[in-house]
Structure 1
């Protein structure tokens, strides 16, 4: 019974989003730590575009079926979006072939922190709604 309550698409999307933000924090931290390492190439995490594609929100796909409730018949599943680390080898910032821009990385870190905080707030709100629904008479 509890399995059905907590294994909803909302919980799944939020938990994967939080995991992606956690991974992105690690990747950005690694980029910052290697800002002065010769020949170091920065990395980034791709997740949101993959999740949009999984959910059928990708504009290139045209009209898609949409499930409006967790108990509706499932839409044929596309591949499950997972956060992926991608290395950027196409650019060079300095003569030592390092491509880390510390200002961009610090801005990305702040943006990712805001994203993570929003996800945790949504997760808390969702759990509070579940709690209210369970305990109300």
Structure 2
């Protein structure tokens, strides 16, 4: 479970989610004028469940080789296929995307602050409280 009871790994997953959400929002904003582009969204529940199932293990020729895994796709990303916001078939609402971007930035900053606090605590323990 680790020194902090899995807190750092939970924060890491939260940061991964926030980065994936930021990427989806940035793609939506970049394609605001693209005809027939459908907005993308990232759902945290889907992100966690898809992340568990979208990894593959590397083939090891010897049991002494390191075992590692990698993601095969972008987990948790959903397209709104039937949604149309403008006349050209585009499904991006710029005001909504900017609000989502600001909300995600606040969430990301909070996670970074919490991670920094945990690592500073660990550093203090290693130094013996000095």
TM-score, normalising length: structure 1: 0.67
1:93 and 2:90 matched: no
Which of 29, 36, 43 is matched with 2:26 structurally? 29
* Displaced runs of 4 or more, over 6 A: none
Q: Distance in 1 between matches of 2:11 and 2:121?
A: 15
Aligned residues: 105
Q: Is the 8 A contact 2:47 2:77 kept in 1?
A: no
Unpaired segments of 5 or more residues in structure 1? 54-81
Displacement, 1:89?
1.6
- Change beyond 3 A, Cα 1:51–1:34: closer
Unpaired segments of 5 or more residues in structure 2? 50-73
Backbone CA RMSD of aligned residues: 2.6
Q: Distance in 2 between matches of 1:37 and 1:50?
A: 27
Q: Distance in 1 between matches of 2:6 and 2:128?
A: 23
Q: Distance in 2 between matches of 1:120 and 1:90?
A: 36
Q: Distance in 2 between matches of 1:131 and 1:33?
A: 41
Q: Distance in 2 between matches of 1:113 and 1:87?
A: 21
TM-score, normalising length: structure 2: 0.71
Q: Is the 8 A contact 2:84 2:90 kept in 1?
A: yes
